[in-house]
Chain A
Amino acid sequence: MYGCSNLMYCISEHAPHSSLQEIMKWNGWGYSDTKFLFNKKGQAEFTGKRYKLSGMIIPALKEWMEGTFGTNMQHKSLATPALTRTAVQPPTLNEAFVEELKSTGVPFSHDAEDRVFRAHGHCLHEIFALREGKVGRVPDLVVWPNCHNDVVKIVELACKHNVCLIPYGGGTSVSSALECPQEETRSIVSVDTSQMNRILWIDEKNLTAHMEAGIVGQDLERLLNESGYCTGHEPDSMEFSSLGGWVATRASGMKKNIYGNIEDLVIHVKMVTPQGVVEKSCQGPRMSTGPDIHHFIMGSEGTLGVVTEVTMKIRPMPEYQKYGSVVFPNFEQGVACLREVARQRCAPASIRLMDNEQFKFGHALKPQVSSMFTSFLEGLKKFYITKFKGFDPDCLCVATLLFEGNREKVLQHEKQVYDIAAKFGGLAAGEDNGQRGYMLTFVIAYLRDLGMDYYVIGESFETSVPWDRVLDICRNVKARIIRECKDKGVQFQPFSTCRVTQTYDAGACVYFYFAFNYRGLSDPVHMFEEVEHAAREEILANGGSLSHHHGVGKLRKAWMRETVSDVGMGMLKSVKDYVDPNNIFGNGNLL
């Protein structure tokens, strides 16, 4: 037991059973049963059964890690195995609030694990601290509303008793958005929307569906698929992230080229604010009624209220899907090809271009091949590309593709894209490579935990940028990261790489990955943050945006004013001041 009275503990309800919390890591990414490790033979292995790669041996990973980061299997930096409850501060409870909350029947808890689980997203510093067993300010209470009306009650009580509310969806934030502000003295209540996970109706005439906002991406797709539909919204975090979170951060999905980003998909939103419920009166597909109030809600990052219900567009499930990949002699050609694809507006459901380092990284993640034949084929392919076609293995890069639609159109579309690629020296490199690329998207997040076991820390971050600056920003940001690390005394050159993940008419979304071996550094997290800060400065100086879809949170707040101008800040602030004058939604994001 910790410093809280027995009585208090008794009155708290237990967390609902279906919570993801039970099957997820408390201090790392994803499911508890799934992780990378080095087995007794010293080979990398991916555990569990959930993914295609699960249970497989990844022979090249060890060498890649040693070569890329200078890691050593003997030097480990393992995480604290379990949360020490004494490390968690006892909750500051607003007793009157708790008392009234109890009468509403909404389940709640102030168990340390429940609170810690909802006190963080997945920024490097957050996970690093957890692995060291360090816990900062965490919510004092977690509530699990079951429906819109529960939320209304909770918000009313919070206003009445001046309690700070922090909405919580899937917990996949990478912007420090879930961190409790240090200076917050009120009781902080985490509003976990995970129990609001139903599809309320499907309207096949208008192709819309109405959901509760706590529904998690993979459940939403699965349930809609059962009725033959999909939303097509597939952010990389879709296994864990929630619909409400997508709305609150202006999320983007991998297949936005067909289905659109969240702002294109949302037809209607209901949000509970301290001033009451905000929503539109109809479901017209487009309106000219002044500034769109949805755009106050989308991207509000939990500062204005809780999104409770959303009506979204749905589409019939695609009849046919086909993966693909193209190898380019270099990144410049690859970008030129993506630009041309965007110009001709013929982007497939997804098209992503990895740079050379990432290509090699992807290579290191190839599972052991079972048959001699596949291995032979691989060898032949490699020979063809590097020797026959003369691609430099240290320059070439690869684009992965995903086509969707009816079979005939997909094949036609595929041909069109490959024809364009050929103009830029691209060679079709097979479906397998493409599919593996997308599978890795989900698996890659687990890899950071492995790295952290061996003194490697890393992060990804994104931006959007006009086409003419894509190459420049990629080169400069990567170089800046390398230089900053060098200046700060990192011994081994960092892994600094990028990919173009989305194309638009006027630009693209670029993802950067950066990681380094921190052995011998006294304050690696601080150093890491400085490098990340410098990288963001570089992005902005090269015409990139502050964020394409991760949001601002607290991590990037410092740049908000220069991003939206003083007047823009004033506009946002005045909305906040009207909607939430007492800062009930006090997570401190954005502004």
Chain B
Amino acid sequence: MASSNAYAQRDPMLKKRDDFEDILEERRNSSDLRYALKCYTPALYKGVAPCKSSMLKSMVLQSDQLHYVIQQVSKETGRQTDNVQEEVSAILDEMAHSLQLSTVRFFAFTLSKIFKSLFKSIRVNEEGIQRLQQAIQDHPVVLLPSHRSYMDFLLMSYLLYTYDLTLPVIAAGMDFMGMKFVGEMFRMSGAFFIRRSFGGNKLYWAVFSEYVKTMLKNGFAPVEFFLEGTRSRTSKSLIPKLGLLNIVMDPFLKGEVFDVHVVPVSISYERILEETLYARELLGIPKPKESTSGLFKARKVLSEDYGSIHVYFGQPVSVRSLAEGRVNRCQFNLVPRHIPGRPDEDIHSFVNDSAYKLVRAQEDNMVLKPWVLLASLLLQKQAVGQEQGTALDELTAQAVWLRDLSRQYGAFLHWPDQMTPSEVVSSSLSLHRGLVRTCEGKVQLALEHEGGAVGPQSAAALEEKLLSQAVIVLSCASYRNQALHVFLRPALLASAIHAASSNQKQEVFNSFSFLRNMFSNEFILCPGATVQDFEEACYLLVKTGTLQVTQKEVLVNERGHRTLAFLVSMLDPFLQGYQVVCRFLCEEATETLTEKQFIPAIRKFIIKHLLAGRLRYAEVLSSDLQKNSLAAFLRLGAVEKIKGPIELLIVFHT
């Protein structure tokens, strides 16, 4: 473990970030129609002519890759190649985008209207846009936005249109196709559709990967997809999915292009449109199927204030640089490149590491609003049972303390310095008045009133009350979660110190390593970077005067207890959650438990404990946490999945 000195160069405080410009300002001052009809002439990759979707399809159909797979499928199944070819065409038709400028202009117009009514501002780092513009001209580009809302991909295309950049083609989940009209609209604005699961369907995979590669290799348009695979319902970054990243890196690894540049984009919403929707979903209130009518019903959201959006286009990352010294590209020399093959172990781990790096790059440039800090504080208070709330000035003082701490940890905090702290706090609280209540100068989460008859209530009513409180708590937690990546490593160290039996450095490290390992399905923790993370955490806590770290020992400073307590509380809900899942598995899962039954069963178990007051955190009800913990226990070998007609979960009592 190197001295913390080595870390000084990576001091997050020194991170230089670009300034933002509000693009809505111009929209408010000039005609949307003229904007929608403006002359759109994006600079293209090496001057290639844009490609019509029909031409793209025929390029894909004629590719060696597809030709090979068609032959193979035909040989294996005994079907005529023509027949397989037809299937391929059908898949391609179902998948392909058909970008039309008129549709884009329609969206440009309507989205201008919608954005202006929903948001105060949409702020973009224009230097990032300039970097992107350069990247698009020099290399095939992949855009990797964070995914917190349905809005994300519309917003992305809207921005690129605004800045006269080549519109991306976007990998969208098939579920959109359910909304017939909207689906087609999306298709015409550059979305292409992939089935949610096609494991084992060789033909589908071949068409899909060839389609993406053809677009990318020829540099027709930037390819955009969500590394996290789906919208994060918790505002925590999700463990990256590797399929598409594999596909877009492949042309570089096989030498078909000189380089591919991937651009992480961080989209931060001050208020997420889907806020309570997500909370309900996590609590098991089923998600409404995407439908056009549903979308229109969502119109009521239009009347509310959703604050501002920050979009940060990160530094383009060269895949070539990522692979330098990591991947031996010669391994592709001995087999024709059009023959599909499973990636080798080293390629897989390279793509996996890259994916984590990219998600962390997204996290790094997420803009945090003061509310995020307030939510963290209020949740902690609520959990220790401060029924009557916190005095406003006390909360403000704590928020200022946390503001300074988070900045020291490198948070990209957007705290309006021209306002007094109390103004900042009250404006945040008012924007989120659905979640928080101020009463007689005291602030607390807007949980259900205790009012009404204090007498006995039916079990069903109690449960209902609990769930509706949980909606608020989970909504709040989703804001706190936005700041998790800032505090994660220090918090793991704080919890490790808390849990370790001594202050021996090795002991603390072991406990850190254990926690980190256990939570690696929950948070973005780069594989194999335990030592690095430990050093980073030590560095930050030493720098802020919380700890002293010597060769052998980790000592807590007198003035460090407050920070440490805060950090421990930050992770506590997760720790408790994992413990309760563990208890459930030990106590209740003695008989055969199938994976399908797991979520309902554990939910019931947790509700029971919450109602009995044995459990503090309502957010443990989050199915996200429950799934992650199960995945962690499976990975750690505490639970085993037995494949059979029904999948069984077997718990090892150790």
Q: Mark B295-329, 1 if CB is under 8 A from A, else 0.
A: 00000000000000000000000000000000011
Q: Is the CB of A543 within 8 A of B258?
A: no
Chain A CB within 10 Å — which of B256, B333, B337 has the most?
B333
Stretch with Cβ within 8 A of B (4 or more), from A62-70, A148-156, A475-483 = A475-483
> CB-CB < 8 A to A469: which residues of B?
255
> Which residue on B lies nearest to A475, using beta carbons?
B258
Measured between C-beta atoms, what is the minimum distance from B321 to chain A in Å?
A: 10
> CB-CB < 8 A to A562: which residues of B?
330
Q: Is the CB of B255 within 8 A of A476?
A: yes
Q: Is the CB of B258 within 8 A of A480?
A: yes
CA distance A475 to B330 in the complex (A): 17
Q: Is the CB of A542 within 8 A of B255?
A: yes
Measured between C-beta atoms, what is the minimum distance from A545 to chain B in Å?
A: 10
> CB-CB < 8 A to B255: which residues of A?
469, 472-473, 476, 541-543
Which of the residues B256, B259, B330 comes within 8 Å of A540, measured between beta carbons?
Answer: B330
Does B336 touch A at the CB level, under 8 Å? Answer: yes
Does B332 touch A at the CB level, under 8 Å? Answer: yes
> CB-CB < 8 A to B336: which residues of A?
468
Measured between C-beta atoms, what is the minimum distance from B237 to chain A in Å?
A: 32
Measured between C-beta atoms, what is the minimum distance from A456 to chain B in Å?
A: 25
> CB-CB < 8 A to A542: which residues of B?
255, 329
Measured between C-beta atoms, what is the minimum distance from A466 to chain B in Å?
A: 9
> CB-CB < 8 A to B330: which residues of A?
540-541, 543, 562
CA distance A480 to B324 in the complex (A): 13
> Which residue on A lies nearest to B254, using beta carbons?
A472
Q: Is the CB of A472 within 8 A of B256?
A: yes
B66-99 contacts to A (CB < 8 Å): none
Measured between C-beta atoms, what is the minimum distance from B140 to chain A in Å?
A: 13
* Chain A-chain B contacts (Cβ-Cβ < 8 Å), number: 24
CA distance A469 to B255 in the complex (A): 8
Measured between C-beta atoms, what is the minimum distance from A539 to chain B in Å?
A: 10
> CB-CB < 8 A to B329: which residues of A?
541-542
> CB-CB < 8 A to B328: which residues of A?
541
CA distance A541 to B329 in the complex (A): 5
CA distance A537 to B613 in the complex (A): 65
B322-376 contacts to A (CB < 8 Å): 328-330, 332-333, 336-337
> Which residue on B lies nearest to A541, using beta carbons?
B329
> Which residue on B lies nearest to A482, using beta carbons?
B258
> CB-CB < 8 A to B332: which residues of A?
543
> CB-CB < 8 A to B333: which residues of A?
543
Size bracket of the A interface: 10 to 19
> Which residue on A lies nearest to B258, using beta carbons?
A479
Q: Mark A451-491, 1 if CB is under 8 A from B, else 0.
A: 00000000000000000110011011001100000000000
Measured between C-beta atoms, what is the minimum distance from A499 to chain B in Å?
A: 19
> Which residue on B lies nearest to A479, using beta carbons?
B258
CA distance A472 to B258 in the complex (A): 8
> CB-CB < 8 A to B259: which residues of A?
479
CA distance A480 to B328 in the complex (A): 16
Measured between C-beta atoms, what is the minimum distance from B331 to chain A in Å?
A: 10
CA distance A279 to B336 in the complex (A): 40
Measured between C-beta atoms, what is the minimum distance from B332 to chain A in Å?
A: 7
Q: Mark A531-547, 1 if CB is under 8 A from B, else 0.
A: 00000000011110000
Q: Is the CB of B258 within 8 A of A468?
A: no
> Which residue on B lies nearest to A562, using beta carbons?
B330
> Which residue on A lies nearest to B333, using beta carbons?
A543
Measured between C-beta atoms, what is the minimum distance from A296 to chain B in Å?
A: 25
CA distance A541 to B332 in the complex (A): 8
Measured between C-beta atoms, what is the minimum distance from B330 to chain A in Å?
A: 6
CA distance A480 to B255 in the complex (A): 12
CA distance A472 to B217 in the complex (A): 11
Measured between C-beta atoms, what is the minimum distance from B451 to chain A in Å?
A: 69
> CB-CB < 8 A to B337: which residues of A?
468
Measured between C-beta atoms, what is the minimum distance from A503 to chain B in Å?
A: 19
Measured between C-beta atoms, what is the minimum distance from A544 to chain B in Å?
A: 9
CA distance A542 to B329 in the complex (A): 7
> Which residue on A lies nearest to B64, using beta carbons?
A468
CA distance A543 to B255 in the complex (A): 9
CA distance A436 to B330 in the complex (A): 38
Measured between C-beta atoms, what is the minimum distance from A186 to chain B in Å?
A: 37
CA distance A472 to B329 in the complex (A): 13
CA distance A573 to B297 in the complex (A): 79
> Which residue on B lies nearest to A542, using beta carbons?
B255
CA distance A475 to B333 in the complex (A): 17
> Which residue on A lies nearest to B138, using beta carbons?
A479
CA distance A540 to B255 in the complex (A): 11
> Which residue on A lies nearest to B259, using beta carbons?
A479
CA distance A562 to B329 in the complex (A): 13
CA distance A469 to B332 in the complex (A): 11
CA distance A473 to B330 in the complex (A): 13
> CB-CB < 8 A to A472: which residues of B?
255-256
> Which residue on A lies nearest to B253, using beta carbons?
A541
CA distance A480 to B258 in the complex (A): 8
CA distance A476 to B333 in the complex (A): 15
CA distance A472 to B332 in the complex (A): 13
CA distance A159 to B75 in the complex (A): 64
Chain B CB within 10 Å — which of A472, A476, A479, A541 has the most?
A541
CA distance A479 to B259 in the complex (A): 10
CA distance A540 to B331 in the complex (A): 10
Measured between C-beta atoms, what is the minimum distance from B253 to chain A in Å?
A: 9
CA distance A543 to B256 in the complex (A): 11
Measured between C-beta atoms, what is the minimum distance from B329 to chain A in Å?
A: 4
> Which residue on A lies nearest to B252, using beta carbons?
A476
> Which residue on B lies nearest to A478, using beta carbons?
B258
> CB-CB < 8 A to B256: which residues of A?
472
> CB-CB < 8 A to A540: which residues of B?
330
> Which residue on B lies nearest to A480, using beta carbons?
B258
CA distance A468 to B329 in the complex (A): 16
Measured between C-beta atoms, what is the minimum distance from B392 to chain A in Å?
A: 55
Measured between C-beta atoms, what is the minimum distance from B316 to chain A in Å?
A: 14
Measured between C-beta atoms, what is the minimum distance from A392 to chain B in Å?
A: 10
Measured between C-beta atoms, what is the minimum distance from A78 to chain B in Å?
A: 37
Measured between C-beta atoms, what is the minimum distance from B277 to chain A in Å?
A: 47
Measured between C-beta atoms, what is the minimum distance from B214 to chain A in Å?
A: 15
> CB-CB < 8 A to A476: which residues of B?
255, 258
CA distance A55 to B329 in the complex (A): 49
> Which residue on A lies nearest to B336, using beta carbons?
A468
CA distance A479 to B46 in the complex (A): 13
> CB-CB < 8 A to A468: which residues of B?
336-337
CA distance A468 to B255 in the complex (A): 11
Q: Mark A306-348, 1 if CB is under 8 A from B, else 0.
A: 0000000000000000000000000000000000000000000
CA distance A55 to B259 in the complex (A): 46
> CB-CB < 8 A to A480: which residues of B?
258
> Which residue on B lies nearest to A543, using beta carbons?
B333
> Which residue on B lies nearest to A471, using beta carbons?
B256
Measured between C-beta atoms, what is the minimum distance from B346 to chain A in Å?
A: 14
Q: Mark A510-543, 1 if CB is under 8 A from B, else 0.
A: 0000000000000000000000000000001111
CA distance A476 to B259 in the complex (A): 9
> Which residue on B lies nearest to A477, using beta carbons?
B258
Measured between C-beta atoms, what is the minimum distance from B432 to chain A in Å?
A: 48
CA distance A472 to B336 in the complex (A): 14
Measured between C-beta atoms, what is the minimum distance from B434 to chain A in Å?
A: 52
Chain B CB within 10 Å — which of A468, A473, A542 has the most?
A542
CA distance A414 to B256 in the complex (A): 33
The 9 closest A-B pairs by CB, nearest first: A541-B329, A542-B255, A479-B258, A543-B333, A472-B255, A476-B258, A476-B255, A540-B330, A472-B256
Measuring CB to CB, which residues of chain B are less than 8 angstroms from any residue of chain A? 255-256, 258-259, 328-330, 332-333, 336-337
24 sample A-B contacts, Cβ–Cβ < 8 Å, listed by A number: A468-B336, A468-B337, A469-B255, A472-B255, A472-B256, A473-B255, A475-B258, A476-B255, A476-B258, A479-B258, A479-B259, A480-B258, A540-B330, A541-B255, A541-B328, A541-B329, A541-B330, A542-B255, A542-B329, A543-B255, A543-B330, A543-B332, A543-B333, A562-B330
Given contacts A541-B330, A543-B255, A543-B333, 4 further A-B contacts (CB under 8 A): A468-B337, A479-B259, A541-B328, A543-B330
